[in-house]
Amino acid sequence: MGSFKYIHANEIALYKNEERKREILQDVRNQPIVQRIEKPTKITRAKSVGYKAKQGYITVRVRVGKGDFRRPRANHARRPSKSGIYYKLAVSKEGIARNRALKVFKNMEVVGSYFLIEDGKNKWFEVILVDKIKI
């Protein structure tokens, strides 16, 4: 486990570098909402949530929009006191990302997921999936 300490420190240094962040965001923005990738971007974080580099494990990058869940406000010459414009969702953004990955890869099950990067509009998560049959 000694080398992982240095790999983790290197990953942290990369994500503090603004140029590296910009490169990652440029790559990620052009991809579809659910994109299968060959290997995890943050290898130490992936291993901590259960990723193994063997057959049957895949990594998926998922985009989730930022912002609250809003309903349109009633505006018919009145203002109801309990109009309830803002609602809090029961599922977190990471939970939404897991569900989106499972919709695409129906024969897999989720091992874990972690936050990758965000910009003004979206958040990206990486979801680790495992094939039920192979493992």
User: Percentage of the chain surpassing pLDDT 90?
Assistant: 50
Q: Go through the domains of the chain in sequence order and give each one's CATH number.
A: 2-131 (3.40.1120.10)
pLDDT in tens, 92-102: 999 999 999 99
CA distance 68 to 25: 22
Under the banding of pLDDT at 50, 70 and 90, the label for residue 135 is: low
Is 110 within 8 Å of 49 (Cβ atoms)? no
Q: Residue 73's Cα: distance from chain center in Å?
A: 30
